[in-house]
Amino acid sequence: MGQIGGSLDAFIGAVHRRAAVLDNEIELVCGVFSQSAEKSKQTGKALYLPDDRVYTSFEEMILREKELPEGERMDFVSIVTPNHMHFPPAKMALENGFHVICDKPMTLNLQQAKDLAQIVEQTGLVFGLTHNYTGYPMVKEARDMVRNGILGPLRKIVVEYPQGWLSKDEEHNDYKQAIWRTDPARSGAAGCMGDIGTHAENLAEYITGLKIEELCADLSTFVPGRQLDDDGNVLLRFEGGVKGVLHASQISNGEENSLKIFVYGELGGLEWHQMEPNTLKYKTQEGQRIIRPNVGNNSAAAKAHIRLPAGHPEGFFEAFANIYRNFAFAVKAHMEGREADPLYDFPSVQDGVRGLAFIDTVIASSKDDSKKWTKFVE
């Protein structure tokens, strides 16, 4: 794997690296970690990479690696730059024969997303998107239960994602994360809704297998001077008459990273919280059952994503690593000319397109008070 972005002072770069190596299926062999050649070099050194595999631009990396013999050159690139720098390297990597795994939201805008989807299709290469929350075993279990009809036909979905870290004007406090995330040029048209609203949207669609058909959004920017939304409340209508609510926030003071989902059907309900990810609550009018990794009979889907015995908590890195490992399995299958095993799923370029479409739809809806419902069009 070659990494684009993720210098030592970036948060998400190290997350991807740790996730990549956890299962001993992936090795970091090269990278361009920063626009600053100096920073990139330092990072490469700290990562024990040889100097000649630390590059100064993604173009250089892709072209130089391509010249290396197979088996030695990187097999895929991992893109962990700010959003505006996802599309160019992804496109170039794919066009030069490298598989790609990329942070979310997938691109800066919907057009790029659609273009990328086309390139992926044309090249036939493997593309993965790190909607990492779908990598949790209990999320797999939840999806499996819905698929198997344990909840009956669905009726209602509530997904919420409050954070509080942008409650103040952090972008003027020299806080790197805050600066780019609130900058439309680097983050895209949405702030909170792009960063975490898309996670919520993806999680809801992933677990339920249902697509949002229309929505009604009310986005806000509470912190004076901020350029993008920092809070949003959305009514959802899914296919099949299923109703829903999605709300996300980065000004919910005192909240950490509190992604939660509640799914209700004719026969039962489910509840899952990202901050206690190893507990899935399954509720019916007859009572509540606590579902936990490696306690009793987990689904095959969950089992394939658990590494430890009951009561040994796996967390954020392990869920992230599940995305990477599954992506690696697909790359391997591709190399060997096999179909990848669908048990080891991971978010696709189509998920990425839906994420960008979600961003466009909530913004359009929020701006328009003249009608209640805005169609979700990819």
Which 7-26 residues touch a second copy, going by CB under 8 A?
11, 14-15, 17-18, 21-24
Confirm or reject binding of residue 201 to a second copy (CB under 8 A).
Answer: no
- Residues of span 284-303 touching a second copy by CB under 8 A: 284-292, 295-297
Confirm or reject binding of residue 316 to a second copy (CB under 8 A).
Answer: yes
Q: Residue 269 CB, nearest distance to a second copy (Å)? A: 4
Question: Cβ-count burial of 24 within 10 angstroms (0-12 exposed, 13-18 middle, 19+ buried)?
Answer: exposed
Between CA 5 and CA 358 the distance in angstroms is: 26
The CB-based long-range contact list for 260-263 (8 Å cut-off, 24+ gap) reads 260/159, 260/160, 260/161, 261/142, 261/157, 261/158, 261/159, 261/160, 261/200, 261/203, 261/204, 261/207, 262/156, 262/157, 262/158, 262/159, 263/142, 263/146, 263/151, 263/154, 263/156, 263/157, 263/207, 263/208
Between CA 94 and CA 98 the distance in angstroms is: 5
Confirm or reject binding of residue 173 to a second copy (CB under 8 A).
Answer: no
- Residues of span 19-78 touching a second copy by CB under 8 A: 21-24, 28, 47-48
Q: Residue 153 CB, nearest distance to a second copy (Å)? A: 10
Q: Residue 331 CB, nearest distance to a second copy (Å)? A: 15
Find the part of the chain contacting a second copy (CB under 8 A) among 57-65, 179-187, 200-208, 236-244. Answer: 236-244
Among 77, 101, 119, 151, contact with a second copy (rule: CB under 8 A): 151
Among 44, 244, 347, 355, contact with a second copy (rule: CB under 8 A): 244
Binding flags for a second copy, 248-287, as an x/- string (CB under 8 A): -x-xxxxxxxx---x-xxxxxx----xxxxx---xxxxxx
Our CB check for a second copy shows the closer of 116 and 261 to be: 261
Nearest C-alpha neighbor of 12 from the set 103, 100, 93: 103
Q: Residue 175 CB, nearest distance to a second copy (Å)? A: 12
Our CB check for a second copy shows the closer of 186 and 243 to be: 243
Our CB check for a second copy shows the closer of 147 and 307 to be: 307
Confirm or reject binding of residue 128 to a second copy (CB under 8 A).
Answer: no
What the block records as the tokens of 43 is 């990072």
Our CB check for a second copy shows the closer of 318 and 351 to be: 318
Among 231, 345, 351, 360, contact with a second copy (rule: CB under 8 A): 231
Cα–chain center distance at 223 = 26
- Residues of span 346-375 touching a second copy by CB under 8 A: 368-373
Our CB check for a second copy shows the closer of 69 and 309 to be: 309
| Contacts of residue 119, Cβ cutoff 8 Å, sequence gap at least 6 | 90, 91, 94, 95
Q: What is the DSSP letter of 248?
A: E
Nearest C-alpha neighbor of 31 from the set 10, 126, 23, 335: 10
The position carrying tokens 């939840």 is 142
Among 310, 335, 341, 375, contact with a second copy (rule: CB under 8 A): 310
Task: Please report, for residues 41, 48, 69, 99, 311, the alpha-carbon distance to residue 28 in angstroms, rounded to integers and kept in the order given.
Answer: 15, 10, 16, 14, 31
Q: What is the DSSP letter of 132?
A: G
Our CB check for a second copy shows the closer of 209 and 311 to be: 311
Q: Residue 277 CB, nearest distance to a second copy (Å)? A: 6
Q: Residue 224 CB, nearest distance to a second copy (Å)? A: 11
Confirm or reject binding of residue 235 to a second copy (CB under 8 A).
Answer: yes
Half-sphere exposure of 137 (CA within 13 A, CB side): 26
What the block records as the tokens of 122 is 């044309």
